[in-house]
Amino acid sequence: MVTGARTLNAWRRWGYRILPGDLYSYVLHMRPAEWAIMAGHTVLGYILAVGLRGAGSGEQLGPALLALVIWVVFLNGGTLAINSVFDKDEGDIGYLNAPPPLPRYLLPFSVALLVAGQLLAFLLPAGFRIAYAICFVLSILYSVPPFRFKAVAGVDWVINMWGFGSLTPYAAWAATGRPLDAGHGLLLLAFCPLFAGLYPLTQLYQFDEDRRRGDRTLALILGMRASLGVAVVSTLLAFVLFGWAARLLAIGAKGGILAFPLTVWLAVLLPWLFTHARWTPAEHQRGMYRALAAWAVTDLTVLSVFAWY
């Protein structure tokens, strides 16, 4: 833990030397630690659209890169920054440990990012523009009073499962201009319940802090055991949809590879479910990061099964 804190402080010092004053605080509240995860899930949609060979040859690479920057930096970064404005967290939050004090102009900065992303989206096909506009509206509804659906358990869950789970890879698919067929539509839909399972896991390590603040998060309303049960059931549903997509797309025996990421998920979730009562917040946080690793394994396996053309 001490080594991790020293590494964090070293990165912070380096960042504030490069971007003096509060400038680096603006970057930190965009939570760049999450960008790799968001980028990976976005790129998934691009590769599914053009195939591994198409991606290797650079097919539609320009629109895909533009879509990636817009989605990850402007939409996701802007959403997380505006979320910080109204949450006013003091303890560790998702993808940002020991958050710095909120810089003075974080709210207009966040809104400017979101608006700029929407304007840039007009450089890409209509499907991408629509996906961005939907998520732009959801971001405002999620974070900003008087709506602040983040505090309405169940609504926040639905917003995130659709926004990150299915619309994120769809946005990159849409940026290529390729129409979405039923089989690939079902494949992208499967990520909706998969994220429905992941979402409550991201709240468990903040369980006590959220309860002290009086927040009504999904995990607090369900309780830890039920949250983990929802994660298991949602994950199983996601893999049923993956299997259905494999059948529609005539993948054949190669679809059996999907058993591997399912096994990884269950190896993360089942021990957590049965032993959670003894876990500390730090252990729940490590469990969340193991679940994120299972998500990454799922993305890579989906590509190996569905994008080999």
* Other CB atoms within 10 Å distance of the CB of residue 116: 14
Give the pLDDT score at 86. 86
Count of the separate structural domains present in the chain: 2
The per-residue pLDDT for 94 is 64
Question: Among 149, 179, 209, where does a domain finish?
Answer: 179
Residue 4: predicted pLDDT: 46
Q: Is the pLDDT of residue 7 over 60?
A: no
**Can you give the pLDDT at residue 149?**
82
Q: Which domain holds residue 138?
A: 21-179
The amino acid at 293: A
**Average pLDDT in the chain:** 90
Q: How confident is the model at residue 63 (pLDDT cuts 50, 70, 90)?
A: very high
Q: Is 60 exceeded by the pLDDT of residue 8?
A: no
The answer to whether position 16 is within a domain reads no
The answer to whether residues 175 and 273 belong to one domain is no
Which of 159, 179, 199 is at the close of a domain? 179
167 plus 251 within the same structural domain: no
What's the CA angle centered on 233, arms 228 and 237, to 5 degrees?
Answer: 145
With respect to residue 138, please indicate whether it lies within any of the assigned structural domains. Answer: yes
How far is 189 from 152, CA to CA, in rounded Å?
24
Q: Does residue 2 form part of some domain?
A: no
| pLDDT (tens digit per residue) in 158-211 | 998 999 999 999 999 999 999 999 999 999 999 999 999 999 998 898 888 777
Residue 51, SS3 per DSSP: helix
For residues 143 and 93, what is the distance between their CA atoms, to the nearest angstrom?
Answer: 15
Domain end position, chosen among 155, 179, 203: 179
Question: pLDDT value at position 2?
Answer: 44
Q: Tell me, what CATH number does 280's domain have?
A: 1.20.120.1780
Confidence grade of residue 9 (pLDDT, cut at 50, 70, 90): low
pLDDT band at 22 (very low <50, low <70, confident <90, very high): confident
Instruction: Specify whether 42 is located in the same domain as 169.
Output: yes
3-state secondary structure of 118: helix
232 vs 2: which has the higher pLDDT: 232
Provide the percentage of residues in the chain whose pLDDT is more than 70. Answer: 91
Q: Is residue 6 part of a domain?
A: no
Shared-domain flag, residues 218 and 277: yes
Q: How many CA atoms lie within 13 A of 117 on its CB side?
A: 30
Q: Which pLDDT value is given to residue 24?
A: 80
Measured torsion, CA atoms of residues 191, 155, 227, 31, in degrees rounded to the nearest 10: 70
